[in-house]
Structure 1
Amino acid sequence: MAAQFVRYTPDIEVGDPHFDENLRTVIERTESYIAESVEAGGTGRALRDAHAKGYGLVRGEVEILDGIPTEYAQGIYATPGTHDALIRFSNGSPHAGADARLGAATGLALKMFGIPGPTLLEDEPDTGTFDYANINGPVFFCNTVEHYLFIQELFLNAPAYFSRGRPGAHRFFADFVTGKGTLDQDDWAWDEFLAFLRLSKIPPVNVLLSSYWTMGAVRHGDHIAKIRITPDPHSAAAVVRRALDPTSAPEVFRPALEAELQERPYAFDIQVQLCTDLERMPVEDTTVEWPEQLSPSVTVAKLRLPQQDISGPENLEKMDALSFTPWRVTAEHAPLGDIMRARKEVYRRSSIERHKLNQQPRTEPRSADEVLGPKGA
């Protein structure tokens, strides 16, 4: 029996009545952290409040495949063709520094060019770009903006907790579960804490070997989906530098990525997992992994990375000047749920503040060549 995919309707989202008030507080804390990071972050520059450390800016090409089943050939995936792209690989932490201090959560931010139609960003509707901001875990450790308030504070202050050894770690975990003492015991954040523990136990591997999810749900034309960017099996098998030891050197992720791309091209599959059951594949609860047995992920496009040299310091400078947001998409791919909705204004205000403090023009590029120069140059 064929799967019955849930149709997208606006009422699948359940809004929090305190959303706007809590979002304002999140934005204020985010802007404050970015301003303080100029001196406190150790780089002399304003840092992103998440994914602060980038591992490399990579040129790519997205081929949207022909012959995709109709339910998957939605929005931008309804038109086969190729699009130039840029990829930012990063660490998920809001802090910079040696890789061993930052954990193994990594991100893949993808920017496609030449996508027709207005984006959902009112201040830049006609850029022709389309972004994903994915992380190497299928779940997220926060379900509501109210909870994000204390979880954000914990993560921004994580070095102070963990610098005290086991007592500091115990305090961090207790403050996480209890909302720093603000939650009733029946409402302790166990689901979110367990999702955090799951993400924290991801083994450190070459960033080319991880899969990357949207974590939150997105609209997929007539349907509801999560998007995964996962290694092409043949490309993954060719990777030489696989498991990494962050304690072996201050930098391990970037050198491994540089070396692999200097030696060979690489490819990822862009996949869509459609929702078939809102109870078992919820939109608002991002701590729940959508079961593949209910709805497998289907490849709709190939992300190809040509052989290239990303080793120069100018690569990091160009990467730092870019911004990525899950809301730089067309309406057919709108992010869904309160946490995803909060990211719209948080990402925008974060980008504005960071570019202002770093005295960087905040302009969206029109092509990969505009950022990296002509291919082969």
Structure 2
Amino acid sequence: MTKPVRYSPDVEQIEPDEAQTLAELEEQFRKILDTTSSDYGHAVRAVHAKGHGLVQGRLTIAPDLPQELAQGLFGHSGHYEAIVRFSTNAGDILDDSVRLPRGIALKILNVIGDRLPGSECDTTQDFIMVNSPAFAAPNPKKFLGNIKLLAATADKAEAGKKLLSAVLRGFEATMEAVGTQSTMLTTLGGAKPIHPLGATYFSQTPFRFGDYIAKFSLVPIGDNAAFSDENIHATGRPDAIREDLTAGLLQAEAKWELRVQLCSDLEKMPIEDASIAWDETESPFQTVATLTVPLQSGWNYGSSEEAEDRLSFSPWHGLAAHRPLGGVNRVRQESYRHSAEYRSHFNGCPIHEPAHIGEVEF
């Protein structure tokens, strides 16, 4: 592999009107939150609103990693408690027959080290991923355009969304058959209805990786791999993903490898264009840890909803050694914080970062 690029602050290029874009993004997120909280009488997340599983797990850092991989959280072998949330990407609570991208969020507990701004008093490290290697927008302005579309359709005409999803899935399946994929079609409802335990997840956006720069991925291994070709059949089953996820988690221990892809060329692997998947032939993903989820129910009605209300996930919860990079990540910082504060205020439920797994009632 080509020698990885070393991190320096000048790898980021901030657009002169980025602050204005952020302000407009927060306005659109507010519209989504106002709409859904008014309709539900309860505030949910502005994106990835519907949780399908909330479980406890364990992250094991691989021993004897080479220097370029032994960075930040991964600098020493060891074990960490983890909270794992499975979701789909919409900002409203939809029937699972609407075919949306899968998401996974990890919260690693009791992580010690220099912290990111806004996370100084915490000891958590979050990783947020979806089952596509590229983000649906290259930069904050295009991201704003996508969020405007979501805000305009939040919690409206679910029957129409089901019909549109079926049509978009047909288009996307045709593209997949010839070896291509449309991130926009999958985002709008044309995603393949893959089982969450069989999905491969990607951070999509780049992060500082100690002395270097990287993207992250979670790849199913062991019994999880058996789900890689399994689809969720959701017709007439509005919560099919929760049901099938729990069934899978009660069958066998679930495992993923956490891998990193080091940036080896800033031209071919850009920091400011999140829509470009980095070429794995230029820099392959390499395993740095294993995530294990023991046998348990994926969702317990009542307690899971309450636990979700008290939790927030953000790429800006973590170590300075894993600072989010690029415009999309920069605007996510305040947008995610705003969404969490809105939920906390509307629901009258304080949100805080847990210090140990016993603080969360699954």
The structural deviation recorded for 1:264 is 1.5
Question: Which residue matches 1:115?
Answer: 111
8 Å CA contact 2:52–2:299 kept in 1: the answer is no
8 Å CA contact 1:266–1:306 kept in 2: the answer is yes
Q: Kindly tell me the number of residue pairs found equivalent between the two proteins.
A: 345
Q: Which stretch shifts more, 218-227 or 360-369?
A: 360-369
Give, in whole Å, the separation in 2 of the partners of 1:251 and 1:161: 18
Q: For 1:1-377, what aligned pairs fall within 5 Å after superposition?
A: 2-40=1-39, 43-101=40-98, 103-122=99-118, 124-158=119-153, 194-197=182-185, 201-232=190-221, 234-239=222-227, 242-313=230-301, 314-372=303-361
The structural deviation recorded for 1:279 is 1.5
8 Å CA contact 1:119–1:327 kept in 2: the answer is no
The structural deviation recorded for 1:12 is 1.0
8 Å CA contact 2:97–2:162 kept in 1: the answer is no
The structural deviation recorded for 1:248 is 4.3
Give, in whole Å, the separation in 2 of the partners of 1:125 and 1:63: 24
Give, in whole Å, the separation in 1 of the partners of 2:225 and 2:327: 38
Q: Which stretch shifts more, 106-115 or 139-148?
A: 139-148
The structural deviation recorded for 1:259 is 1.0
Query: Partner letter of residue 16 of structure 2?
Result: P
Give, in whole Å, the separation in 2 of the partners of 1:311 and 1:152: 28
Instruction: Decide whether aligned partners of structure 1 residues 201 and 231 sit closer, same or farther in structure 2, where only a CA change above 3 A counts.
Output: same
* Uncovered stretches (5+) of structure 1, i.e. residues with no partner: 173-192
Normalised to the residue count of structure 1, the TM-score between the two structures is 0.85
Give, in whole Å, the separation in 1 of the partners of 2:289 and 2:160: 46
Instruction: Decide whether aligned partners of structure 1 residues 36 and 201 sit closer, same or farther in structure 2, where only a CA change above 3 A counts.
Output: closer
The structural deviation recorded for 1:25 is 1.5
Equivalent position SS for 1:360 = coil
The structural deviation recorded for 1:219 is 0.6
Query: Identity of paired residues, percent?
Result: 32
Equivalent position SS for 1:225 = strand
Q: Which stretch shifts more, 289-298 or 311-320?
A: 311-320
Give, in whole Å, the separation in 2 of the partners of 1:239 and 1:148: 31
8 Å CA contact 1:227–1:270 kept in 2: the answer is yes
Instruction: Decide whether aligned partners of structure 1 residues 224 and 365 sit closer, same or farther in structure 2, where only a CA change above 3 A counts.
Output: same
The structural deviation recorded for 1:196 is 1.4
Instruction: Decide whether aligned partners of structure 1 residues 320 and 294 sit closer, same or farther in structure 2, where only a CA change above 3 A counts.
Output: same
RMSD: 2.4
Give, in whole Å, the separation in 1 of the partners of 2:78 and 2:138: 36
* Uncovered stretches (5+) of structure 2, i.e. residues with no partner: 169-180
8 Å CA contact 1:241–1:256 kept in 2: the answer is no
Instruction: Decide whether aligned partners of structure 1 residues 6 and 165 sit closer, same or farther in structure 2, where only a CA change above 3 A counts.
Output: closer
Give, in whole Å, the separation in 1 of the partners of 2:135 and 2:80: 29
Instruction: Decide whether aligned partners of structure 1 residues 166 and 266 sit closer, same or farther in structure 2, where only a CA change above 3 A counts.
Output: closer
User: Segments of 4+ in structure 1 off by > 3 A?
Assistant: 158-169, 198-202, 237-241
The structural deviation recorded for 1:262 is 1.6
Give, in whole Å, the separation in 2 of the partners of 1:70 and 1:97: 45
Q: Which stretch shifts more, 56-65 or 311-320?
A: 311-320
Give, in whole Å, the separation in 1 of the partners of 2:92 and 2:314: 19
The structural deviation recorded for 1:194 is 4.4
Give, in whole Å, the separation in 1 of the partners of 2:46 and 2:162: 25
8 Å CA contact 1:162–1:168 kept in 2: the answer is no
Residues 309-328 of structure 1, C-alpha deviations (whole Å, 9 max, x = no match): 23421123212321000011
Instruction: Decide whether aligned partners of structure 1 residues 85 and 167 sit closer, same or farther in structure 2, where only a CA change above 3 A counts.
Output: closer
8 Å CA contact 2:123–2:318 kept in 1: the answer is no
Instruction: Decide whether aligned partners of structure 1 residues 273 and 166 sit closer, same or farther in structure 2, where only a CA change above 3 A counts.
Output: closer
Give, in whole Å, the separation in 1 of the partners of 2:96 and 2:161: 18
The structural deviation recorded for 1:198 is 5.5
8 Å CA contact 1:318–1:371 kept in 2: the answer is yes
The structural deviation recorded for 1:59 is 0.5
8 Å CA contact 2:136–2:184 kept in 1: the answer is yes
